[in-house]
A and B are shown apart, each in its own frame.
Chain A
């Protein structure tokens, strides 16, 4: 089965760091762009960051620029998100999502998410 599984979430104090990971199975991660999308409790979806198939192009929402870094390890079929200087407003369920190349980069496969809580 095609699957994405996130890990690395948890509770962290403001100013702290976390590293999220997303393990892909059932397909070759190298052939797809990938993104992180978050959802604060009771709120809507927010795209956070994306990376192209070979890692040469990365994008971020303005509120995380300079604090978050997206990376990928195609040999390990995994995607990562290093989150530094965390703020309360970063509290959310973080999903990794596969970009559908033939579908205008729509997100066709999603993980179940990993929860990040930033609180003192």
Chain B
């Protein structure tokens, strides 16, 4: 099984900040890495697929990078609506998620 490890588990930041969340896979997953945002009481929403491709309708302040085992999600300038939980997920072999990163307002 492929284990996904996200860091940090929680993060406090202010509107306008640049934020980076990292995700590490227990083995190489090429670029089969996806990122999701989940707000309380809502279903997850796909942000980035294939490590760096922005899903349709997602603001351009979100970006993803990485390949192999190490990946990052960057939000260039935090907006109030971005405070949520974020999950990475590998789709290289079946599927598995990271444990999540809770992004809170400082």
Contact = CB atoms under 8 A, between A and B. Distances in A.
A20 to B, nearest CB: 15
A68 to B, nearest CB: 14
B43 A47 contact: no
A1 interface: no
Nearest to A59: B94
Given A62-B1, A104-B32, A106-B34, A45 B44 contact: yes
A104 B49 contact: yes
A53 interface: no
Contacts of B98: 44
Nearest to B53: A103
Chain A's interface size range is: 20 to 34
B96 A103 contact: no
Contacts of A107: 34, 36, 44, 46, 89
Interface stretch (A9-17, A77-85, A108-116): A108-116
Given A44-B87, A44-B99, A104 B44 contact: no
A106 B100 contact: no
Contacts of B39: none
A110 B44 contact: yes
Interface of A: 35, 37, 44-47, 50, 59, 61-62, 95, 99-100, 103-108, 110-113
Given A104-B91, A106-B46, A113-B43, 4 more contacts: A45-B89, A106-B55, A110-B43, A111-B43
30 contacts: A37-B95, A37-B97, A44-B85, A44-B97, A44-B100, A45-B44, A45-B87, A45-B89, A47-B89, A47-B94, A47-B96, A50-B94, A62-B1, A100-B49, A103-B34, A103-B46, A103-B53, A104-B31, A104-B50, A104-B91, A106-B34, A106-B89, A106-B91, A107-B36, A107-B46, A108-B49, A108-B55, A110-B43, A110-B44, A110-B45
